[in-house]
Structure 1
Amino acid sequence: MTSSLFSHAPDPEPQHATTAVADIEESCIVPRETEEAFSGFHEYLHLWWPEEFSTFGEGMHPEFEGGALTETSVDEEKDLWATVRDIRPEELLALDWFLGHSNSIATNVEVKFEAAEDSTVVTVLHSGFGRLPDGPDVRERLASEWRNVLQRYARFMGAR
């Protein structure tokens, strides 16, 4: 079977316009080995994540399950925060992030765990705000939220 002389490829998917919006980078130091630091972030998120930075608020339960980061309300409602793009225990957690904006367009979050003397440096890099129609506003709000999230995590892990 031959293709028609007049056939052509389908129209490409529309591309979302991007705007230059600065990334967010926040770090903290926790007095733990990388294995414990990673576990505290990945497995015990529900014990330290601030309720004010969630969808459902009081009584919510965030957790990594089945390749996603979700939040469950006290009424068993679920909200998708992120999908896991890459996971390397003790080293990296890379996510397609949806929480914090009302879009179906994901931004990117990477949480890196780097060994330091008697501690671990944990760095969050949040990028891709230029893909969002309200990217500058979302970035501005999330910058202070990430700072507070990491401070809460560091205290949970025993930092002073």
Structure 2
Amino acid sequence: MSELFSHAAPEPSQEPASLQTITAEVTVPSGLHDAFEGFTDNVHLWWPMEDYSEFGVDSYLGFEDGDLVEGSAKGEKCLWARINSWISPSSFLLSWLLGGDPLNPDHVAVSFRPHGDGGTRVLLIHERWAPRSGAQPGGDVFREWPQVLDRYARFMGGSQDVD
């Protein structure tokens, strides 16, 4: 019967439809409040816009009115995520929309815990709920969270490495 069909059966997806999780963590030499504010209030200063941006390096990324939004130099806006929970200075939870299905967003949780003598451990957990198809803007950051957090750690004085 298989000779009746001109094409072979499709290969199963390399990305299972079940939950996938990426975790990344860094330690910064700042207290809890400063680490949280450095991450949230100053995201526009450390986020690698040259690598992950809808509008390019001249755009601005920031938290505003319960959302994480990128704004272009021309005034355009791109919604990256919605804030589900905000417990300053210990954690926040986002519904990550960028590069995915807005009806089935990923979840990004970021927590801040005291570490050592005045430092803070920052843990990011990105849970993917739906598979991505094709090249979609923002989708690659899912795999690159460790590099993104390293950039944040350098901004906070956690490393002397430079790009």
TM-score normalized by structure 1? Answer: 0.80
Aligned match of 1:29: 27
Aligned match of 2:125: 125
Q: Distance in 2 between matches of 1:107 and 1:152?
A: 22
**2:48 aligned partner, one-letter code:** P
Cα distance, 1:96–1:56 mapped onto 2, change above 3 Å: same
Identity %: 34
Aligned match of 1:14: none
Residues 45, 63 of structure 1: 8 Å contact kept: yes
1:1-160 correspondence to structure 2 within 5 Å = 19-51=17-49, 52-99=51-98, 101-104=99-102, 105-117=104-116, 118-127=118-127, 129-134=128-133, 141-160=140-159
- Partner secondary structure for residue 140 of structure 2: helix
Residues 101, 130 of structure 2: 8 Å contact kept: no
Residues 59, 72 of structure 2: 8 Å contact kept: yes
Please, which runs of 5 or more residues in structure 2 have no aligned partner?
1-15
TM-score normalized by structure 2? Answer: 0.78
Residues 38, 113 of structure 1: 8 Å contact kept: yes
| Count of aligned pairs between the two proteins | 140
Q: Distance in 2 between matches of 1:77 and 1:86?
A: 26
Please, which runs of 5 or more residues in structure 1 have no aligned partner?
1-17
* CA-based RMSD: 2.3
Question: Aligned-pair distance for 1:19?
Answer: 1.7
**2:62 aligned partner, one-letter code:** E
Which one has a larger percent helix, Structure 1 or Structure 2?
A: 1
